[in-house]
Amino acid sequence: MTTTTSPAKTTTSVAQPSASLLERFRVPGAFFLGAVLLLGIAPIVLSDFRLNLLAKYLCYAIVAVGVSLAWGRGGLMVLGQGVFFGLGGYAMAMHLKLADAAATGQTLPDFMQLYGTGDVLPWWWKPFANPAFALAMTVLLPMAVAALLGFFVFRRRVKGAYFAILSQALAAALAIWLVGQQATTGGTNGLTDIQGFFGYDLNDPVNQRTVYFIIAAVLLLLMAAARQLFVSRYGELLIAVRDSEERVRFLGYNPANVKLVAYVVAAGMAGLAGALFVPAVGIISPALIGIVPSIGFVIGAAVGGRASLVGAVLGAVAVAWTQSTLSDAYPAAWTYLQGLLFVVAVGFLPGGLASLVTVLRKRRIPTRTTGETA
């Protein structure tokens, strides 16, 4: 047990990791490579159709960045990211629907004319006609909801399973509420058939490509921001809170606030992802934000490696890609595969595919990735 005898005279020495050139430029280099792939190569080699699919996957990847922060680093089992994705998506879609209507000289979006109770726009739709307001809301609305829920939940130390179930229930509640308000939210159909994006016609492939570039750039930016959070003092504190919340409290920190920041930032990222999803795919609906898709947001990160930023992003893209490749041709096979992915990736490879890389490289410092404290 003990090799050292005195706290004042410890003799064990540890080799200082020498910051070789390779080591120093590994992260910026990988980032640059990713940027070249996403912004340079992908648009050249992929057809319009494929690029548009990739845009959609990258939206899921943006959610995964937040999941990696909140769940991978913070141990918060965020099973309700669909809520924030949905809030961002609806905020964007409401604006685009209003803009579409205005472009054709209507005052009401098409679905309201179909199911609507009158010809007056509901009061809470009105501010979304303003593009700046709508854009701000795509991020602020999810963050506000997360802050509110997180404040009450973390303050009372509701954690682990409780938190997971509550956030899941929130996703279910929002989806059910949206379905119930057909006249003002489009109900089960959601907000569909979106034509324009701030004056640009989304049916034009050139504009679709622009949307792709915006999404890819946002993803890269958020990855850089998340990376900064990971290596910052806050990132270290977040791991400390995940592993021993009580100990952190005795050091004079309020762990509730530490978790709240991660949760709110992750929510903002999911909201932005939802907002960008709308011009890329042209729809936002309750089916995209309920319990099932909410768990889907987590699985990509789990498969790739929840605590590894790159792992989570690649995992999200890979899972989404597999899904759309398989689910049309072999829907049954896809469902089995998806189930198996959960079982194998989470059950037997909790560090995700990223941990395979780590194992192969035999890194000096083991990175345990199972956060159980939430």
Partner 1 sequence: MTVILNQSFTGVSIGAVLLLIALGLTLTFGQMGVINMAHGEFIMAGAYTTYVLQKSISGAGLSLLVALPLAFLVAGAMGALLEWLLIRRLYTRPLDTLLVTWGVSLMLQQLARDIFGAPNVQTAAPDLLTGNISVAGTTLANNRLFILGLALLCVLGLTLILRLTPLGRRIRAVVQNRDLAEVSGIATERVDRTTFFIGSGLAGVAGVALTLVGPIGPTMGTNYIVDAFLVVVVGGIGRLKGSIITAFALGVLQSVLEYSTTVSVAKVIVLVAIVAFLQWRPQGLYTLRTRSLA
Partner 2 sequence: MSGEGLTVRDLRVTFDGFKAVDGVDLDIRPGDLRFLIGPNGAGKTTLVDAVTGLVKATGSVRFGGEELLGKPVHRIARLGIGRTFQTATVFEELTVLQNLDIAAGARRGPLTMLRRRKGVPEAVTKALETTGLTELRDRPAGVLAHGQKQWLEIGMLLVQDVKLLLLDEPVAGMSHDEREATGELLQRVSEDHTVVVIEHDMDFMRSFARSVTVLHAGKVLSEGSVTEVQADAKVQEVYLGRASEPEPAAVPVAEEA
Interface residues with partner 1 (CB under 8 A) are 77, 79, 149, 152-153, 155-158, 160-162, 164-166, 168-170, 172-174, 176-181, 244-246, 291-292, 295, 298-299, 302, 332, 335-336, 338-343, 346-347, 350, 370-372, 374
Classify each residue of 81-119 as buried b or exposed e, where b means 16 or more C-beta atoms within 10 Å of its C-beta.
bbbbbbbbbbbbbbbbbbbbbeeeeeebbbbbeeebeee
User: Side chain identity at 59, as an amino acid letter?
Assistant: C
Listed in sequence order, the DSSP H helices in 233-330 are 233-243, 245-250, 255-281, 291-304, 309-329
Cα–Cα distance, 101 to 195 (Å, whole number): 10
- Rounded Cα gap, residues 286 and 284, in angstroms: 7
Give the shortest CB-313-to-partner 2 separation in angstroms: 21
113 vs 188, which CB is nearer to partner 1? 188
Q: Check binding of 320 to partner 2 (CB under 8 A).
A: no
Scanning 9-17, 48-56, 190-198, 276-284 for contacts with partner 2 by CB under 8 A, the matching segment is 9-17
d(CA 183, CA 164): 32
> Could you give the C-alpha distances from 23 to 20, 33, 224, 314, 357, in angstroms and in order?
5, 15, 18, 22, 16
* Closer residue to partner 1 in complex, CB, 49/152: 152
Residue span binding partner 2 (CB under 8 A) among the ranges 4-12, 41-49, 52-60, 293-301 = 4-12
- Residue 4 interacts with partner 2 (CB under 8 A): yes or no: yes
The tally of CA atoms less than 13 A away on the side-chain side of residue 206 is 2
Q: Is 342 in the site for partner 2 (CB under 8 A)?
A: no
Asked whether the beta carbons of 115 and 187 are under 8 A apart, the reply is: yes
Q: Report which DSSP code applies to 188.
A: G
Q: Identify which of residues 33 and 340 has a Cβ nearer to partner 1 in the complex.
A: 340
Q: What is the DSSP letter of 157?
A: T
Alpha carbon dihedral 260, 264, 265, 268, in 10-degree steps, equals: 180
Residue 37 interaction partner, one of partner 2, partner 1, none, beta carbon < 5-8 Å per kind: none
Q: How many residues in the shown chain lie near partner 2 by CB under 8 A?
A: 42
Give yes or no for residue 20 binding partner 2 (CB under 8 A).
Answer: no
286 binds, among partner 1, partner 2, none (CB under 5 to 8 A by kind): none
Minimum distance from CB of 361 to partner 2 (Å)?
17
Least distance in angstroms from the C-beta of 21 to partner 2: 19
- Cα distance between residue 360 and residue 138, in whole Å: 41
List the x/- string, 133-162, binding to partner 2 by CB under 8 A: ------------------------------
Residue 140 vs 225, nearer CB to partner 2? 225
**Cβ pair 345, 48 in contact under 8 A:** no
Q: Identify whether the C-beta of residue 310 lies closer than 8 Å to the C-beta of residue 298.
A: no
Whichever of 325 and 367 has its CB closer to partner 2, that residue is 367
**Partner from partner 2, partner 1, none binding residue 239, C-beta < 5-8 Å depending on class:** partner 2
CB-based burial of residue 187 (10 Å sphere; 0-12 exposed, 13-18 middle, 19+ buried)? middle
Q: Which is nearer to partner 1, 73 or 95 (CB)?
A: 73
Candidates 122, 249, 295, 337; binder of partner 2 (CB under 8 A) is 249
> With binding defined as CB under 8 A, does residue 110 bind partner 2?
no
Q: Per rule CB under 8 A, is residue 204 in the interface with partner 2?
A: no
Binding site residues, partner 2, CB under 8 A: 1-14, 16-17, 228-229, 231-234, 236-237, 239-240, 243-244, 246-255, 365-368
